[in-house]
Chains A and B, each alone.
Chain A
Amino acid sequence: MTTPPTTSEPAKAARRTRPAIDRSQLGLALSAAWVVIALLVPWADLDPAGRRMLAIFGVAVVLWITEAIPLYATAVVIILAEIALVSDEAVWALPAGFDAPAYTTFYAALAHPVLMLFLGGFLLADGAAKFRLDRNLAGLLLAPFGTRPSALIAGLMAITALLSMFMSNTATTASMMAVVLPVVAGLSPDDPLRSSLALSVPVAANIGGLGTPVGTPPNAIALGRLSDDGIGIDFLTWMALAVPLVIIVLAVAWFYLIRAYPARTETVEIRLGGDFDRSRPARVLYLTFALTVVLWLSEPLHGIPSTVVGFVPVVFLLAFGVMNSDDLRQLNWHVLWLVGGGIALGSGVAATGLDRWLVGLIDWSDLPVAALTLVLVVFALVMSTVISNSATANLMIPIGVSLAASDAIAISPVLAAVLIAVACSLAMALPVSTPPNAIAHATGLIETRDLARVGTVVAAVGSALVVFLAPAVWQALGLVP
């Protein structure tokens, strides 16, 4: 047996180093401790159902922050715990007088209409990837931007953002970075254009996800919570709220990138796309995609909710054999369940009155509205910079919406939900903040500090816009009450 090359030894040693306390053990221990505390402390003004829900909510906080178990596993823990503790099938009887929600309402969260909207979006996006519609469309749209580095980055960001409005931010990033890598390989190693190209894709994908209800899970969580309160927001209204914000933040990020990383080369070319697939299934996909988007955008004309339209591509793509059982199996069901767990958490919190109790812990009346929105946005930003965007939205949106619905404060539930969802998507200062960031960082082309800088610019500009300017504009346009 000969010795391995010395280069592998330090790497090996580094990998072997484990933290003193295992994160999953810590998460499980904290969860258990919290259940005991929540159930034993005689919380003032909180009835037994509320206490049980407080235990569940705290466990959700701990597990989603520590990721002691996978995010989607926490979602199903919540559903089972709610059924076992606060539903009409509770294994441990609730006091008479508490109007326990039917256990079926918690299961129903997994098939919430907003998830059906997302299912349609997922199937369309996977179909687009299967027939390379995304890549071909990107090639077609990128051509007019030419070969000047600053124009090319603008084009790359615009197209990445557009794609990520309909596909997952992660898939869009993986797909666009696969195209960017060979281009970067052809640049001189000290050309800052390498970094700006590698940063432009994840930043645009993260921001683009905001643009439509199906862009990224926090949007669905906001819409789901609002619809449970009887507030429907149509596709077009969401886009009217979010797209101008996407454009402004993208423009700022682009300006920052071309200034901070001035290209040394005069021209750069991205080869992308090719002939559009003209096979029958591909054509059915194109038509279904176009029809679905048209129906989503024309809801004010026909009145069919986007959650119903969202099931149309599911039916078409499966019935015409465009997508098959393998494609169905590959869908990101775990993302749907994660959102479903958040919706179940929100309905449990509302049904037990825990939301009102939590909101009542603080006297909000002294706080100006702008200060409150700032607190919501900054809190969501900080949290989702470190933990999953969906988990942040799952935890914050139910409380934020209840806070807004209470008389304590003069902002509308719609505004609270939208602000939190937006803040989740604006958080991108670390490699762990989002999967697109992780992908860009894994290419080795950028350092954590590059992400930190551009992420801070995006977060600062974006949150200033949504806190100080957007609410007034949205209200003036009648987009939010």
Chain B
Amino acid sequence: MVDRVELGVLVVEDEPEVRDAIVRDLAPLGSVLRVESADDVPDAREALEELADDDVVVALVLVDHRLPGTTGVDFLVELDHTPSTRAVRKVLITGQADHQDTIKAVNQARLNHYIAKPWQPDELLAVVRSAVTDFIIATGVDPLPFVAHLDGPRLLEAMTHRGDR
């Protein structure tokens, strides 16, 4: 039998207070998702490597657009063009992305969701639940351990082809 897969969420945000707020808002999912954070893109790349070393499959990245150095949108495009991270769900959480940045994120990084700052904690949780559920269904991760914590009905729908044993 395959060991259960551990899924992770990566938060990339340069302002410490904002980053802590996002991480705190995601705490209700802490028992099923490993939440890691990074303060800029190089730090984020390092975090991805560390998660991979720990056999954590990254399901979702939540990035702010305006970061020191490489922008959040450019990081999303980079993820989308890298085979190992292509399936990762991508959410932009920002107040400062202009029209052009947003269009680039949608067209070149297949952005899954845009959250405008300031965000509502419930909205953020709902977006993360839905996006990680999409990731599980799309990639064939065993949905069972996540039924109680993410979008249960949709995860169950994904199991309606299963046979008895």
Contact = CB atoms under 8 A, between A and B. Distances in A.
A is bound by B: yes
Interface of A: 1-2, 4-5, 7-8, 11-12, 15, 23, 67, 70-71, 122, 126, 129, 168-171, 174-175, 177-179, 181-182, 209, 216-217, 330, 332, 334-335, 338, 388-391, 434-435, 438-439, 442-445
Contacts of B153: 178-179, 181-182
18 contacts: A1-B46, A2-B19, A2-B23, A5-B24, A5-B35, A12-B6, A71-B165, A129-B161, A168-B164, A170-B165, A177-B152, A177-B156, A216-B164, A332-B163, A388-B165, A435-B165, A439-B159, A444-B147
Contact of B147 (A71, A217, A443): A443
A233 to B, nearest CB: 20
How many B residues are at the interface, by size bracket?
35 or more
Contacts of A216: 164
A382 to B, nearest CB: 17
Interface string B122-165: 00000000000000000000001101110011101101111111
Given A11-B30, A438-B144, A439-B156, A335 B6 contact: no
Given A181-B156, A390-B164, 6 more contacts: A1-B46, A2-B20, A7-B30, A126-B161, A168-B162, A439-B159
A437 B146 CA distance: 15
A389 B160 contact: no
Nearest to A135: B160
Contacts of B99: none
B47 interface: yes
Interface of B: 1, 4, 6, 16, 19-20, 23-24, 26-27, 30-39, 43, 46-47, 50, 144-145, 147-149, 152-154, 156-157, 159-165
Given A2-B19, A439-B159, A442-B148, A8 B35 contact: yes
Contacts of A444: 147-149
Q: Which 5 A-B pairs have the closest CB atoms?
A: A7-B30, A332-B163, A444-B148, A335-B163, A178-B156
Contacts of B26: 5
B132 to A, nearest CB: 14
Contacts of A334: 163
Contacts of B4: 15
Contact of A389 (B27, B145, B162, B164): B164
Given A439-B147, A443-B148, A170 B156 contact: no
Nearest to B159: A174
A443 B152 contact: yes
Nearest to A122: B163
A11 B165 contact: no
A334 B163 CA distance: 9
Contacts of B154: 178
A129 B43 CA distance: 46
A129 B33 CA distance: 31
B63 to A, nearest CB: 15
The interface centre, meaning the residue of B4, B24, B35, B164 with most chain A CB atoms within 10 A of its CB, is B164
